[in-house]
Amino acid sequence: MRLARGHVLIGINEEALLAGARNVEKALRDGLAEAGLQEEIEVIETGDLGATGQGIMLSVFPDGVVYAGVTVADVAEIVSEHLLKGRPVERLRLAARPTGPTGLTKKQPRIVLDNCGVIDPESLEEAIASGAYEALAQVIESGTKPADVIDVVKKSGLRGRGGAGFPTGLKWSFTAPGEQKYIVCNADEGEPGTFKDRLILEGDPHRLVEGMMLAGYAVGASKGYIYIRGEYSLSIERMQKAIDASREAGLLGEAILGSEFAFDLEIKKGAGAYVCGEETSLIESIEGKRGFPRLKPPYPGAMGLWSKPTVVNNVETLANIPPILRHGAEWFRGYGTESSPGTKVYTILGQVAHPGLIEVEMGTPLRTIIDEFGGGVAEGKRFKGALIGGAAGAFVNAEGIDVGMDYENLKEYAAVLGSGAILVLGEDASIVEMLRGILHFFQHESCGQCVPCRAGTPALRAIMDRIVEGHGSQADLDDLVRIAETMQAASLCPLGQSPILPIQTALDGFAEEFQAALHQGAAVD
Amino acid sequence: MRSLLEKYPQTAEHMLDMLHDLQEAEPRNYLTRDALRAVADYLNVPLSTVVSTATFYSMYSLKPRGRHIIRICESPPCQIVGAETLIDLLAQHLGIGVGETTEDEVFTLETTSCLGVCGVAPAMMIDEELYGNLTAARVVDVVEDVRRRDATG
């Protein structure tokens, strides 16, 4: 491997691509060649650099300088001033913000995202150099028993990062005995405002491959499926490359690292259905059917894919497995809280100064996340509230901003934490309008299998339309809750059980706004 | 059609992949009756099974669509930055409603749930390309640009 004196990492994700990252990359390579630096400075494509809405970003090592909003026209200056003369181009530097993978702060512990934006996600060698497959090798070479792997995960206290927060080790230990078992990774990230899993898939795909292999080893599964949203083309492409490279290197397949362990992976591309984020719908979809949720029990651990015992874990959950096995349960417990150890990845969006992707310890107060990591409300506006967890999430008003973000504090709405979406609302946001948007969404995504959800979602939507138009009544507000409660009690899956969360939290937290809407409709600017 | 299907083993597990492939191979971006029939025959399942699966997922269409599909995001993060106005504007500009195809068969306008690029909301996807930070002016520019490229072939 040729040694370079410096590296320029270019963040390649969907956003950067649409801003023209390929052109910048080409200009950079051309510029370096022209300056005779092509042997000294290496250009590396990496995943997300930890900030969104910042255009094309470059991270220069070893200086640790991060540039944002770079255009083709800026490249010549970066090359001649910084890379040639060593003077960073100040006007392009990312304003100091306390996030980012490049050590801009020590406030962000990175367990899940430590390689995202640092390594070239398309290179197996770089992944290995950063510790990928080390945990797998440790486990296999030390002859660790599968039950002991499960034990470490149990002791770590890791809880599912998909939604319900079920202890991962326990879930694994509940997998029924059987000849054929499956590991399924849920990468059908559909909750509005959520894209943390996409950035893990795009930024560190080998982490997921290793996490699934370890899960397979622990429960005795030889086959894994990654179900990725059909819309995530770059994720699918990078994941496929990672799987191919691992297979080529003999890391996937038969006799892994000389042991008897065999494991292989396959990607399944979704086709556009929010409900498929529910684990049994997702299983139906992998089987090539309509994504209708199944009745539970039996749970997938007993009867899942093709009626075989199946573990379904979220991307972020599986991404936590390799570091836990590498460093041990105690190390992991050093982060987060007693009942919710570890970190959580969030996307901060909406009317916030610095939208982006962050990883913080469990239990970090919402206020810290918004003020310190998000830079507060955009344009200095007053904080009105936040929608946490996407459509199936909860509204928090200004009084709720000090809530600690962990499973205990958010117990009443457990699903909220998982998706990691934090949508910040400034003073002029209309909660009434937002709730209407959410209820339209649920009607659209209801799969139609069970009656409470099929009949309930259009009823909720119709009521909300009436309220927005200024024709609502107190009875309508009561009906919203009554119908949503019935759906919560009687629906087959979390989709129908969820609308009560945004409805109840919106009505409780913003009662005055709804009262006003009954008289004059929602304020539309 | 047969050659596209024969890439896959004859098990229902691959139905979604087959439908993706057949739809992509059809210039009008939809699943023809023949395509659905071919999948049913290949997998030896009733046509109704294939139709029921295809109609469940929003990425498949059983009606002919335009050569280019505009999917504009209508989820809350896009909504709070004005996606609804953009949807109306696009509909007006193209002279069609959501779910409809322009007379010249160039565009079909669809809405979609979250595209996962909320950092650059409001966003839309035309075919496989993503476009973010949309404004009234930009959304029309982008669409017209695609139309020009379509015309020149």
- Residue B39 CB neighbours (<10 A): 28
pLDDT at A182: 98
Buried b (16+ CB within 10 A) or exposed e, A352-369: bbbbbbbbbbbbbbbebb
A299: tokens are 């749970």
Q: Is B31 domain-assigned?
A: yes
**Bridge-partner residues for B123, per DSSP?**
none
Averages of pLDDT over each 10 residues, chain A, 525 residues:
70 83 91 84 81 83 82 89 82 60 53 89 92 95 96 97 89 95 96 89 96 98 96 92 96 95 97 94 97 96 97 97 97 94 92 88 93 89 92 92 88 70 91 93 94 98 96 97 98 95 96 94 62
Q: Is B134 domain-assigned?
A: yes
Nearest to A201 by CA among A173, A160, A235: A235
Domain match, B46 and B109 both: no
Structural domain total, chain B? 2
Which of helix, strand or coil describes residue A342?
coil
Which of helix, strand or coil describes residue A4?
coil
CA angle A461, A466, A469 (to 5 degrees): 125
A415: tokens are 């699903």
Q: How far is CA A152 from the centre of its chain?
A: 24
Report how far residue A383's alpha carbon sits from residue A397's, in angstroms, rounded to the nearest whole number. 8
Domain match, B41 and B72 both: no
Nearest to A94 by CA among A57, A48, A42, A44: A57
Chain A nearest-CA distance from B54, in A, is 8
Report how far residue A260's alpha carbon sits from residue A331's, in angstroms, rounded to the nearest whole number. 30
Q: Is B63 domain-assigned?
A: no
A411 reaches B (C-beta below 8 A): no
Question: Which residue among A14, A193, A447 places its CB closest to the CB of B130?
Answer: A14
Q: In what order do the strands lie in the sheet with A65-67?
A: A41-46, A6-11, A58-61, A65-67
* ipTM given for this complex: 0.92
Please, which contacts does B21-29 make with residues 24 or more away whose CB atoms are closer than 8 Å?
Answer: B23/B60, B23/B61, B25/B1, B27/B67, B28/B64, B28/B65, B28/B66, B28/B67, B28/B105, B29/B61, B29/B64, B29/B65, B29/B66, B29/B67, B29/B69, B29/B108
| DSSP structure class, residue A298 | S
Q: Under CATH, domain A6-92 is a member of which superfamily?
A: Glutaredoxin (3.40.30.10)
Please give the biggest Cα pair distance in chain A.
74
Domain match, B18 and B46 both: yes
List Cα–Cα distances, B65 to A457, A522, B27, B140, in angstroms. Answer: 28, 36, 9, 20
pLDDT at A118: 85
Question: Please, are residues A318 and A212 in contact by the beta-carbon 8 Å criterion?
Answer: yes
At B95, which CATH number?
3.40.30.10
Domain match, B79 and B135 both: yes
Domain A431-520, what fold? de novo design (two linked rop proteins) (1.20.1440)
Would you tell me which residues 10-49 of chain B have a C-beta closer than 8 angstroms to some C-beta of chain A? 11-17, 19-20
Domain match, B91 and B141 both: yes
Question: Which residue among A17, A192, A233 places its CB closest to the CB of B76?
Answer: A192
Domain match, B92 and B43 both: no
pLDDT at A186: 97
Name, in order, each residue with C-beta under 8 angstroms of A407's C-beta and a sequence gap of 6 or more.
A159, A165, A339, A340, A362, A414, A417
Domain match, B87 and B26 both: no
Q: How many residues does chain B have?
A: 153
Q: At what angle do helices A233-248 and A196-203 cross, to 10 degrees?
A: 40
B71: tokens are 């999917």
Domain match, B84 and B18 both: no
Domain match, B76 and B136 both: yes
Report how far residue A18's alpha carbon sits from residue B84's, in angstroms, rounded to the nearest whole number. 22
Question: Please, are residues A241 and A199 in contact by the beta-carbon 8 Å criterion?
Answer: no
For the segment B37-71, what is each residue's pLDDT rounded down to a tens digit?
A: 999 999 999 999 999 999 999 999 999 999 999 99
Domain match, B29 and B83 both: no
pLDDT at B114: 83
> β-strands B124-126, B68-73: how paired?
antiparallel
A332: tokens are 């992991």
Q: How close are the terminal C-alpha atoms of chain B, in Å?
A: 24
Q: Is B125 domain-assigned?
A: yes
Chain B nearest-CA distance from A308, in A, is 15
Q: How far is CA A362 from the centre of its chain?
A: 15
Nearest CA in chain B to A448: B56
Which of helix, strand or coil describes residue A336?
strand
Nearest to A302 by CA among A238, A194, A219, A237: A219
Chain B nearest-CA distance from A94, in A, is 16
Contacts of A15 in chain B (CB under 8 A): 117, 119-120, 130, 132
Domain match, B148 and B77 both: yes
Question: Please, are residues B47 and B19 in contact by the beta-carbon 8 Å criterion?
Answer: no
**CA dihedral sign, ordered A18, A20, A26, A31:** negative
Lowest mean pLDDT among A194-198, B81-85, B115-119: B115-119
Residue A295 burial by CB count (10 A; 0-12/13-18/19+): exposed, middle or buried? exposed
Nearest CA in chain B to A195: B116
A366 reaches B (C-beta below 8 A): no
B126 reaches A (C-beta below 8 A): no
Q: Is B6 domain-assigned?
A: yes
Question: Please, are residues A228 and A188 in contact by the beta-carbon 8 Å criterion?
Answer: yes
Nearest to A289 by CA among A305, A301, A302: A305
Domain match, B109 and B74 both: yes
Q: What's the per-residue H, E or C state across chain B?
A: CHHHHCCCCCCHHHHHHHHHHHHHHCCCCCCCHHHHHHHHHHHCCCHHHHHHHHHHCCCCCCCCCCCEEEEEECCHHHHCCCHHHHHHHHHHHHCCCCCCECCCCCEEEEEECCCCCHHHCCCEEECCEEECCCCHHHHHHHHHHHHHHHHHC
Q: Which of B56, B81, B98 is the last residue of a domain?
A: B56
Q: Domain span at residue B139?
A: 68-152
Question: Which residue among B14, B113, B129 places its CB closest to the CB of A441?
Answer: B113
A496 reaches B (C-beta below 8 A): no
Which of helix, strand or coil describes residue A344?
strand
B153 reaches A (C-beta below 8 A): no
pLDDT at A413: 60
Report how far residue A488's alpha carbon sits from residue B73's, in angstroms, rounded to the nearest whole number. 27
Q: Is B80 domain-assigned?
A: yes
Contacts of A391 in chain B (CB under 8 A): 75-76
Which of helix, strand or coil describes residue A361?
strand
A124-333 CATH, one of 3.90.1150.10, 3.40.50.40, 3.30.450.20, 3.40.50.11540: 3.40.50.11540
Nearest CA in chain B to A17: B130
pLDDT at B15: 97
Question: Please, are residues A359 and A110 in contact by the beta-carbon 8 Å criterion?
Answer: yes
B74 reaches A (C-beta below 8 A): yes
Class of domain A343-426: alpha beta
List Cα–Cα distances, A511 to A213, A325, A388, A433, A481, in angstroms. Answer: 49, 48, 18, 14, 13
**CA dihedral sign, ordered A315, A275, A219, A217:** negative
Name, in order, each residue with C-beta under 8 angstroms of A440's C-beta and a sequence gap of 6 or more.
A461, B74
Q: Is B62 domain-assigned?
A: no
Taking the domains of chain A in order of start, what are their residue ranges?
6-92, 124-333, 343-426, 431-520
Q: Is B61 domain-assigned?
A: no
Q: How many residues does chain A have?
A: 525
B89: tokens are 């504007």
pLDDT at A95: 63
A72: tokens are 């083709």
